[in-house]
């Protein structure tokens, strides 16, 4: 039987093997609950809520979740970065700096532009309320547009293999986060996303759907354009499938596999 734990570091690098030099497989973000399948020295083998497995340093999680944390309403950090401060003022001590996608508990207390938050082991702090996002309830065209807008928040972010934050992100990390921050959990890797989503043709594609290519995925934003984290461009960029556009990516146009949708 596995043990439950919560990530208490802003970004927890998930490794393919229990070695510091091992390839980065994913980044598990603050507040994420994981199942500990095995423990080996300073490492734990974990299973995420989005069905991904790998090795984390043991110090990156806690099993000592407070009851308040368990029962409290949660919100995502939507700002690129958010300091958790000891008091509701900028000069206060910073406990931790969280990245977009971190999950934080809310106490319900507010002071002007500040919201009181709860860390997994029971410590309280303050975050700018405008940097938090409650679990959204959207559908239809509103949901599609929100997915596009979320993906565009990462424009210019450097490409990082296995990354999922404004510090660095890869193609499937971008699609994963754009959906997660809109209340939809899809698999982490592009191949698994392709198998998970309903396949449709290019002419059926709508904003918010995913475009699949060999080993690559992008988010369609309308008018033949898409946003993606591209290794060749070293960053999150907008490109096009329209051969008349200056943003045209002929290599991807010619390798297009299909579109995937869950919307």
CB-based contacts of 206: which residues, under 8 Å, 6+ apart? Answer: 144, 220, 222, 261, 263
- The CA distance from 60 to 14, in Å, is 10
Write down the catalytic residue from 47, 94, 228, 258: 228
Give the angle 63-65-67 at the CA atoms, nearest 5°.
145
Please check whether residue 72 is in contact with residue 132, taking contact to mean a CB–CB distance below 8 angstroms. no
Write down the catalytic residue from 47, 94, 216, 258: 216
Write down the catalytic residue from 47, 94, 171, 258: 171
Q: Which two tokens stand for residue 66?
A: 């407070």
Residue 247 — φ and ψ, nearest 5°? Answer: -95, 10
Rg over alpha carbons for the chain, rounded to the nearest Å, is: 19
Q: Please confirm, yes or no, whether 47 is among the known catalytic residues.
A: no
Please check whether residue 44 is in contact with residue 100, taking contact to mean a CB–CB distance below 8 angstroms. no
Q: Please confirm, yes or no, whether 216 is among the known catalytic residues.
A: yes
Biggest distance spanned by C-alpha atoms of the chain: 58
Q: Please confirm, yes or no, whether 228 is among the known catalytic residues.
A: yes
CB-based contacts of 244: which residues, under 8 Å, 6+ apart? Answer: none
Catalytic (active-site) positions: 171, 216, 228
């Amino acid at each position: 039987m596995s043990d439950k734990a919560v990530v208490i570091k802003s970004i927890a690098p998930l490794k393919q093997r229990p070695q510091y030099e091992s390839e980065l497989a994913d980044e598990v973000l603050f507040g994420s609950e994981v199942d500990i399948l095995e423990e080996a020295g300073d490492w734990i083998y974990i299973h995420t809520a989005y069905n991904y497995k790998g090795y984390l340093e043991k110090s990156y999680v806690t099993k000592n979740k407070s009851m308040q944390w368990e029962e409290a309403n949660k919100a995502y950090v939507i700002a690129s970065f958010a300091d958790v401060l000891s008091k509701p003022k900028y000069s206060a001590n910073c406990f931790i700096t969280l990245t977009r996608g971190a999950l934080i508990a809310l106490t319900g207390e507010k002071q002007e532009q500040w919201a009181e938050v709860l860390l997994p082991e029971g410590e309280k702090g303050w975050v700018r309320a405008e940097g938090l996002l409650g679990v959204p309830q959207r559908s239809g065209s509103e949901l599609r547009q929100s997915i596009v807008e979320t993906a565009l928040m990462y424009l210019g972010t450097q490409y990082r293999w296995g990354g999922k934050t404004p510090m660095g992100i890869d193609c499937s990390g971008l699609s994963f986060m754009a959906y997660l921050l809109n209340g939809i959990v899809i698999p982490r890797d592009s191949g698994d996303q392709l198998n998970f989503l309903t396949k449709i043709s290019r002419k059926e594609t709508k904003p918010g759907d995913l475009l699949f290519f060999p080993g690559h995925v992008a988010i369609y934003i309308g008018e033949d354009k898409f946003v993606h984290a591209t290794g060749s461009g070293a960053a999150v960029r907008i490109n096009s499938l329209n051969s008349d556009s200056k943003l045209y990516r002929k290599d991807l146009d010619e390798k297009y596999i299909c579109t995937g949708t869950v919307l």
